[in-house]
């Protein structure tokens, strides 16, 4: 299949009737799948009401069928079509964070969405993306759009259109290229079917921000550091898979910079090509084959923005092993550490 690349500008006023968006919307209505930018990562979109379209999403990504997709909408009215009830906590979160990087799990109305899209669950995850191209596309096609991150299953999520092309060229109808995404980590997934809402996946909206709006919010206990390995089953099916992995083994280093440097030196003496994932503040402290600064430690949002691109750059650099700094878990740091732990398969070396 020839994968079209449609370059679009991010200016809202030129997006109305933009021929590329009209073209992409046409493919979506024909139950083809196209990649689209969102404020978090690129998504691989398809008609959420069509088994045919949804099957194409799973096939292109090589995604396990038990992992449900997030449904993307452009306005609140679309929600009533396929959501059974909107609890008050959800409504307050929608008002505060939509459009934005927050996915809310609702009870599902039966018989509207493709059963494949929700992996046969009686709940559904929904979000309204905060990206002019995504919203224009959703409006142009008039459909609820199922969209997982547009990477091959297991690889780091795509924050640039080039990442999508790297993974999915020839497997999808096209990609709307609007340049790099902003937030860099995926949306926060919060389950509002419980009396006290539960975070199933940390992401762009922080636990602290949610609590400011609705009070108490719990974390899925299966997300606590390392718990996934020990048997607790996460409620979000996607969280049980190894994910975001670079090609080389990645180790998280819980210790000083000199400890990390000793590990690098040891591996280099063995003849390995060693990569270090660090930050602007610390990069001059390390000597290794490849040292990449992933944002600034003092501003964790910048680390989130660059994280997946950094992981992919280590692949291009063909390193044999990667050692990474760790980050404080406050704010967006929680999502960063969750992704790094998954990318590392929970391999932590402590000083
Ligand atoms: O920022 C994002 O959320 C991006 C952009 C493209 O919107 N999408 C994304 O989708 O990250 P995906 O498929 O890579 O991750 C969706 C996560 C998975 O962990 C999945 O298991 C969970 O959401 N999920 C979806 N529906 C669910 C449900 N009904 N119950 C529990 N977890 C659900
Ligand atoms: Mg994903």
Domain CATH for 335: 3.40.50.11030
Are 85 and 179 members of one domain?
yes
19: three-class secondary structure by DSSP? helix
Are 42 and 93 members of one domain?
yes
pLDDT single digits (tens) 126-138: 999 999 999 999 9
Are 20 and 167 members of one domain?
yes
Percent of the chain scoring above 70 in pLDDT: 97
Record the tokens describing residue 118, joined without a space. Answer: 């929700």
Within-domain flag for 322? yes
Within-domain flag for 235? no
What is residue 241's predicted lDDT score, i.e. its pLDDT?
Answer: 74
Binding residues for L-threonine: 40, 72, 127, 147, 187
What is residue 240's predicted lDDT score, i.e. its pLDDT?
Answer: 77
Q: What is the Cα–Cα distance from 332 to 327, expressed in whole angstroms?
A: 10
What is residue 152's predicted lDDT score, i.e. its pLDDT?
Answer: 96
Q: What mean pLDDT do residues 78-94 have?
A: 97
Instruction: Identify whether the C-beta of residue 289 lies closer than 8 Å to the C-beta of residue 277.
Output: no
Are 220 and 257 members of one domain?
no
Are 257 and 193 members of one domain?
no
Are 313 and 179 members of one domain?
no
Per the structure, the complete domain to which residue 161 belongs is given by 4-225
Q: How many domains, in total, are found in the chain?
A: 2
Are 284 and 137 members of one domain?
no
Are 78 and 208 members of one domain?
yes
Within-domain flag for 236? no
Instruction: Identify whether the C-beta of residue 76 lies closer than 8 Å to the C-beta of residue 67.
Output: no
Please determine, for residue 13, whether its predicted confidence score (pLDDT) is greater than 70: no
Percent of the chain scoring above 90 in pLDDT: 91
Please determine, for residue 12, whether its predicted confidence score (pLDDT) is greater than 70: no
Are 254 and 209 members of one domain?
no
What is residue 97's predicted lDDT score, i.e. its pLDDT?
Answer: 98
What is residue 230's predicted lDDT score, i.e. its pLDDT?
Answer: 55
Ligand 1 pocket member 250 (CB < 6 A): no
> Which one of 225, 258, 287 terminates a domain?
225
Predicted TM-score (pTM) of the model is 0.96
Q: Which atom, in ligand 1's list, is nearest to the CA of 36?
A: 6
pLDDT single digits (tens) 220-268: 998 875 554 556 788 888 887 778 889 999 999 999 999 999 999 999 9
30: three-class secondary structure by DSSP? coil
Record the tokens describing residue 133, joined without a space. Answer: 């191209």
Exposure letters 60-73 (e unless 16+ CB within 10 A, then b): bbebeeebbbbbbb
Within-domain flag for 94? yes
Q: Which CATH number characterizes residue 48's domain?
A: 3.90.870.10
By the CB criterion, residues less than 5 angstroms from ion ligand 2 are 149
Q: What is the Cα–Cα distance from 27 to 4, expressed in whole angstroms?
A: 11
Q: What is the Cα–Cα distance from 85 to 108, expressed in whole angstroms?
A: 8
> How far, in Å, is the centroid of ligand 2 from the Cα of 226?
19
Please determine, for residue 26, whether its predicted confidence score (pLDDT) is greater than 90: yes
Residue 228 has phi, psi (to 5 degrees) of: -55, -35
pLDDT single digits (tens) 54-74: 999 999 999 999 999 999 999
Are 314 and 213 members of one domain?
no
More confident residue, 224 or 92: 92
Q: Kindly report the average pLDDT of the chain as a whole number.
A: 95
Within-domain flag for 182? yes
> How far, in Å, is the centroid of ligand 2 from the Cα of 149?
4
Within-domain flag for 27? yes
158: three-class secondary structure by DSSP? coil
Q: What mean pLDDT do residues 298-324 have?
A: 98
Are 106 and 30 members of one domain?
yes
Q: What mean pLDDT do residues 272-301 have?
A: 98
Are 148 and 189 members of one domain?
yes
Ligand 1 pocket member 148 (CB < 6 A): yes
**Cα atoms in the 13 Å half-sphere on the side-chain side of 231:** 0
Please determine, for residue 28, whether its predicted confidence score (pLDDT) is greater than 90: yes
Instruction: Identify whether the C-beta of residue 195 lies closer than 8 Å to the C-beta of residue 93.
Output: no
Residue 162: band (very low, low, confident or very high) from pLDDT cuts 50, 70, 90: very high
Cα→Cα distances 110→76, 145, 226, Å: 19, 17, 35
Q: What mean pLDDT do residues 283-297 have?
A: 98
- Write down the residue that tokens 């799973």 correspond to: 58
Within-domain flag for 233? no
Ligand 1 pocket member 34 (CB < 6 A): no
Q: What is the Cα–Cα distance from 8 to 14, expressed in whole angstroms?
A: 9
Within-domain flag for 328? yes
């Amino acid at each position: 299949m020839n994968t079209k690349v449609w370059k679009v500008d991010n200016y809202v006023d030129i997006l109305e009737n933009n021929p590329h968006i009209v073209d992409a919307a046409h493919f979506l209505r024909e139950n083809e799948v196209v990649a689209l930018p969102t404020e978090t990562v690129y998504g691989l979109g398809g008609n959420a009401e069509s088994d045919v379209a949804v099957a194409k999403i799973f096939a292109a990504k090589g995604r396990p069928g038990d992992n449900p997709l997030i449904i993307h909408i452009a306005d609140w009215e679309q929600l009533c079509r396929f959501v059974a009830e909107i609890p008050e906590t959800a409504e307050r979160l929608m008002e505060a964070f939509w459009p934005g990087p927050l996915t809310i799990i609702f009870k599902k109305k039966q018989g509207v969405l493709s059963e494949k899209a929700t992996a046969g669950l009686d709940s559904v995850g929904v979000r309204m993306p905060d990206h002019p191209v995504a919203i224009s596309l959703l409006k142009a096609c008039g459909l609820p759009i199922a969209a997982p991150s547009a990477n091959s299953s297991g690889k780091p999520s795509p924050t640039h259109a080039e990442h999508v092309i790297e993974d999915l060229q020839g497997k999808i109808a096209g990609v709307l290229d609007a340049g790099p995404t902003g937030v860099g980590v995926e949306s926060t997934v919060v389950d509002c079917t419980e009396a006290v809402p539960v975070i199933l996946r940390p992401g762009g909206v922080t636990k602290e921000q949610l609590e400011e709006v609705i009070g108490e919010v719990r974390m899925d206990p299966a997300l606590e550091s390392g718990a996934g390995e020990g048997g607790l089953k996460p409620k979000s099916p996607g969280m049980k898979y190894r994910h975001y992995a670079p090609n080389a083994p990645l180790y998280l280093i819980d210790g000083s910079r000199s400890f990390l440097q000793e590990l690098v030196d040891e591996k280099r003496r063995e003849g390995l090509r060693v990569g270090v994932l660090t930050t602007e503040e610390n990069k001059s402290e390390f000597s290794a084959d490849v040292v990449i600064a992933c944002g600034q430690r003092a501003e964790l949002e910048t680390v989130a923005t660059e994280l997946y691109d950094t992981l992919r750059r280590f692949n291009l650099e063909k390193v044999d092993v990667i050692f990474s700094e760790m980050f404080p878990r406050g704010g967006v740091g929680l999502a960063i550490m969750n992704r790094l732990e998954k990318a590392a398969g929970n391999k932590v070396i402590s000083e």
